[in-house]
Structure 1
Amino acid sequence: MRDFAASDSQSLLQILENVNDVITVRDAETGETLAVSGAVEEVYGYTPEEFRDLPIEAYSAGPPEYSEDRAHELIEEAKRTGESTFEWKAKRADGTEFWVDIDISKTDIDGRAVLVSVIRDVTDRKEHELELERYKRLVSLISDPVFTFDGEDRIDYVNEATLDLTGYSREELIGAHPTKLALSSTTSREHLEAIHGLQGSEQDSVRLEGTITRADGSERTVESHMALLPPRGDASFGGAVGVARDITRRKHREEKLERFASVLSHDLRNPLNAAMAQLTLLREVEGCDNEYVDTLEDLTDRMAEIIDDVLTLAREGRYVTDPETFPLSAAVEEAWNTVDSPAATLVVADDLGVVEGDRRRVRRLLENLFDNATRHGGETVTVTVDRLDDGFAVTDDGPGIPAEEREDVFEYGYSTADDGTGFGLNIVAEIVDAHDWDVAVSEGDDGGARFEVTGVSD
């Protein structure tokens, strides 16, 4: 047993024997400290003899919650009821503060009423609880629905946004299986299999999309990003945490764009192809080769280009649902090969890293940025692709974009080139948005245009 200070009773030695927690014994009437266990030196930094003579305020964090007056209130409670249990913020000899659990019991020793206090350092536990409380507070303020599953695939936490999305009360959701919200049990099962499949996988999270049924019977399309929680004890699966987003409007928008694309593909493309065929006949069969036919051909080519860009705009705005990881430098090289400016120069940083996204659409994004540079910067323009901390930048040494116009360059129809359709940079913005990235335009070191794409997974 560790050394301890005691006044005179052999019975006090028996109480303190083989105890690792701090134990103090006080006279219930006078408050005199009769004994202190040796563990006090490790926990508080005082020897038992020093601790016996200290007032409570000397080893308490202080007012208002942890004052000597409050301590005496709790001691009086133990005198009245026979016991008192509470958390206390204590202070060591060196001034550092820490958390303890204190259990005070009233008992008799050799006919003397005493208060026995068992003090246990719970700083690690308390800090963990405070950290959890902070996280819960943060999660409660997040506008997107946040929820967790336990190891049995039962919902065990939801924030207010989840309640708003589903229309259910917290009591109706906690403990429920995710199929309570699922429109399709098959889809729900596949989603759970995907979540469990993260175990042993190199992936940190998985993106899921499905339709849920709200409490009022209405349906919402929801996109969720799920990640595993640490397992507890010997369990192999500790549950998962998810952040959801209601994408019902976005899905409706995509459906409208798809119908719009269909109209372009059939109702406009077919008569345009017929007109272009007639122009070919005029040239080759009728021998018409004059400026009027040339003008008609230019106009039909421009109409075809506009249709292509609008179709691209409708399709590239779809959210990326099946991303792949690929070297950005490879996409840059593929995109540059499509540039119709032999005198233009491409400069690429040594290491552009990797990108997680739709490779075809990232290539199209780069193609449009390169086309914008060569269209406005001239045949000998130099285009540089650099890596950023969270993305990449494409910079040219052309005339640049006036500061007052930079907010407009990604809008529909914006173009300063006579042969531009005004959709090129808008397509860039749509592709960036589909990846949940960001794009901004500024001025390069040489005065040209600089496009920075950020928020890129790397």
Structure 2
Amino acid sequence: MSSADNDGLALLEGFPDPVIRYEKTDEGRIVQWANDRATALFGSVAAEGQPLTATIESFEVLTETEPLVGPEGEVVAEYETAAATKTFRIRWASDGTNEPATGVVVFTDVTAAVAKGRDDQTDAPSDPTVEQVVHVLSHDLRNPLEVAELRLEAARETGEAVHFEKVTLALDRIEALIEDLRTIAKGDVIVTSTAPVALEEVARNAWSTVQTGPASLEVDGAVTIEADEDRLRQALENAFRNSVEHAGEGVTVRVGPISDGDGFYVADDGPGIPSDRRDTVFEPGVSAREGGTGLGLTIIDRIATAHGWSITIADAADGGLRLEFREGTVHD
């Protein structure tokens, strides 16, 4: 197991709800790991190597949705403990990009909310959802991990120092993302402070930690943005990855200020997004690519919202995708 995986498990161990991590095999979903809260609640059925269905079948599901159907979802169910019957919201999210596929199930106790007649979706404890944690663990960490793996392989073959330097940069980025996850897990806001940052510098740094192959980056003009630099970089990394995955390795990505001075854009020369799909692409799990996580644009949208920016999809000059970020503070 990689150090990033170990850090991810350490984060989930501190999660306020019972959490089970599973591995999808030919025999079904098998428990790979459970935090202490899950072990205390479920006992031996949550032990490593046990079928995940053994835990799920101990609940009486109150919603029409069937548990564990699809890569992610949620159901409301009752569980009989030694002391009383409790109501839980069971949520699951899987990463289909791994081989074998892995995922996480979280069990949130909403008994008090249901007893008071409140909606369990809005009045459950305000702790961050497991999707926020799993999505970043399975999606954002893939960017620098892929760079580190390829650069390390190149370093072994050539011995050139530049490859080791890139591995170091990628590992630094992984560490920063894990720190971000710890911040999210504590319930802190996604953007805590902003400052003037050079868009070109942040864009080129973000480009260096995404596996872009023969794709190219062009920055049109110098502009300074009022932003949280780490979050802006995270948004750009996801935008770049989205372009490479959907438009192909030979894509050209452009970043620059919007002509009216009201924000900035990220554009590519790929196929773009049809107008009838633009209303849904920011929703979690929506992806035009088979096997895609459908999280890249969601993460971008959330970071933009946290900054107070609006984000829209337009056609690039050459027909590709153009993301426009507006209402941010742009310095001349």
| Superposition TM-score, scaled by structure 1 size | 0.35
Query: Structure with the greater relative contact order (CA < 8 A, sep ≥ 6): 1 or 2?
Result: 2
Larger radius of gyration: 1
| Superposition TM-score, scaled by structure 2 size | 0.47
